[in-house]
Amino acid sequence: MIKDIMLISELGELALIEKIRGYFSIGDSGVLIAIGDDAAVFSADKKNIVTTSDLMSEGVHFDYTYTTFYQVGFRLVISNVSDIYAMGAVPSYLFLNMALTGKRSEEEFDDFLKGVREACEHYNAKVLGGDLSLSIKGDFYSATLIGFADRVKTRSGAKPGHNIFITGNTGDSAAGLAYLKYVKKRIPMEKNMEYTSREIDGTILDTVRRHLIPCACNPETFIDKIKAMIDISDGLLLDLYRICAESRAGALIYRDNIPVSDGVRAIASMLEMDYMDFVLSGGEDYELIITSDSDHLDDCILIGKIIKDGFFFVDSDGIREKFVPKGYTHF
């Protein structure tokens, strides 16, 4: 039996808004007014309010050829959560904005909302509202996330002598994306679902998952030791450069200390690419770069030191090599 496909254009705007409202329960005493009014109202409770916003456009940030609607929704939330964590804040309230072509089905719309909901539930963020519009060409998704912090962390606190740490591997997301572009098909992973394949090696699947279902890194266990911080959304070197630019400093990177996953090596070999291009310049890993005057941070990897000026790799023999920070930019 063929299932009837209901298009969102047939449902209409009011029905879609009610569907959105039904997906997201609030259950937060700090929220006074949520979805359904002209604006949301919440109490700040005398903390620092931290706000971020990210936009995802079809053909630039995602391609439905190899990305599901669920994955687009999930990744939209994670990119915002990662920014909030990078400021030392806790994510709280999210506003969701969409401009969609009328040809999208109700099922696709539901899948997107499911991805948003499961990411929000994992990071304890509540959807309080947003906006919905028709798009003539291509889909656009945007989210604004509000968080609260007792003490805000910034990019500008790095000083010469500080150690540079990262919270995990880099390059996995970029390598996973390169693999998806190569195979040109969807891998229907979801957060709460085990996915296996007889066709794809498990190591490669783990790396692809880092792109499709990413995780945001919460620095709460070592927050008091952080002097400067940024999330890795546009590449290790480029985002490190942003810390240095705001702090008016340079960086010395211990090249041999930078971790490389087996999946990145495998995908780079398959595609005949240099795996270090993924590691140094690939984006959307959502790990954190941290500077600290401590010699050790739990579950973090020491990769370098802040210096007065310049950007250098140094090897185990002490030989320095200048590098140019490269990463993802839109223009």
> What digits encode the pLDDT tens for the residues 126-137?
999 999 999 999
Highest mean pLDDT among 48-57, 192-201, 321-330: 48-57
* Same domain (yes/no): 201, 139: no
Burial class (CB in 10 A: 0-12, 13-18, 19+), 186: middle
Q: Are residues 167 and 316 in the same domain?
A: yes
Which residues share a beta bridge with 199?
A: none
Structure tokens at 274: 């240099």
The pLDDT value recorded for residue 129 is 93
Give the model confidence (pLDDT) of 217-265 as tens digits: 999 999 999 999 999 999 999 999 999 999 999 999 999 999 999 999 9
329 assigned to some structural domain = no
Burial (0-12, 13-18, 19+ Cβ within 10 Å), 286 = buried
The answer to whether position 14 is within a domain reads yes
Contact of 85 with 203, CB cutoff 8 Å? no
- pLDDT surpasses 70 at 207: yes
What digits encode the pLDDT tens for the residues 2-12?
567 889 888 88
List Cα–Cα distances, 152 to 87, 156, 272, in angstroms: 6, 11, 43
Residues 123 and 167 placed together within one structural domain of the fold: no
Q: Give yes or no: residues 103 and 175 share one domain.
A: no
- State both tokens at 218: 């919460």
> Which pLDDT belongs to residue 191?
92
**pLDDT band with cut points at 50, 70 and 90 for residue 24:** confident
284 and 140 fall within a common domain: no
Task: Select from 289, 287, 328 the least CA-distant residue to 305.
Answer: 289
Residue 2: per-residue pLDDT: 54
Which CATH number covers residue 300? 3.90.650.10
Last residue of a domain, one of 88, 117, 149: 149
Give the C-alpha separation, 72 to 55, whole Å: 11
Query: How many Cα atoms within 13 Å fall on the side-chain side of residue 275?
Result: 17
Q: What string of DSSP letters covers 127-172?
A: EEEEEEEE-SSS-EEEEEEEEEESS---STT--TT-EEEESS--SH
- pLDDT confidence band for 199 (50 / 70 / 90): confident
What residues make up the domain containing 186? Answer: 163-322
The pTM assigned to this predicted structure is 0.91
Residue that is last in its domain, among 149, 171, 200: 149
Show the 3-state SS of 230-288: EECCCCHHHHHHHHHHHHCCEEEEEHHHCCCCHHHHHHHHHCCCCHHHHHHHCCCCCCE
pLDDT higher than 90, residue 282: yes
User: Domain ends where: 97, 115, 149?
Assistant: 149
pLDDT of residue 208: 97
H or E element, residue 98: strand 90-100
Do residue 220 and residue 294 come from a single domain? yes
